[in-house]
Amino acid sequence: MNRKHFFLCSMIVIFKTVSGDFIRVMDRPNLAAGKYKLVFKAVFPCNRNNTYPINLNWYLSKVTATKTVLRGNTTAYIGFDENIYFNINMAIWSKIGGWVDNAFVYQNKDACSTLKMFMGKVWNDFCTKGNFKGCPILPGIYIMDGFDLSLIEQSNFPKEFFYGTYKFKLFYTNKNNETVGCLYLVMDIKRPWE
């Protein structure tokens, strides 16, 4: 093959690659963020010695090897309504050990509407399994009867996120910034194939 033919063949390959005929989606398994799957490890109250006006006594129950559900009860001495603030504070497990607080922080008023917005199309199932009718949630005792946590993937939480182990602090505050309910969720955010 002479130089002229080699040059012509090279130009055709470059042109085809740039024009998109040979462009393909590449696996990038070592990126720090992307689509994920959730693996829930623990759920527990923030302070077992403190009785909050909204006590979230939830726990995980592994139904099958691949299915984990949320069980427990909620004792609400006050209503869960739009006068309460919805707060999230996520800590990430450091590569050298220990939790790094404030990795992600979120606060919004109108707690019940905010929770409903995040739950999206799984809100009705969450209400059914939690034995309440929807917003506002009136004072009372509610039994969480096996909410399937795999449904969270269909909610309005971000579809791509940074991989790692997180301690997700979900807490509610009143207008005086006093905590009225608090719960920790510990979870792994993993690559879909892990």
What is the CB neighbour count within 10 angstroms for residue 39? 14
CATH 3.30.70.3400 fits 34-190, yes or no: no
Instruction: Give pLDDT, residue 158.
Output: 87
Q: Which residues of the chain have pLDDT under 50?
A: 6-26
Q: What is the pLDDT of residue 40?
A: 93
What is the model's pLDDT at position 15?
Answer: 46
The predicted structure's pLDDT at residue 33: 86
How far apart CA 109 and CA 146 sit, in angstroms, is 28
Helix (H, G, I), strand (E, B), or coil: what is residue 105? strand
* Exposed/middle/buried for residue 62 (C-beta within 10 Å: 0-12, 13-18, 19+): exposed
pLDDT the model gives residue 28? 54
The residue whose two tokens read 């006594």 is 57
Amino acid 2: pLDDT:
56
pLDDT at 3: 53
Domain boundaries, the chain: 34-190
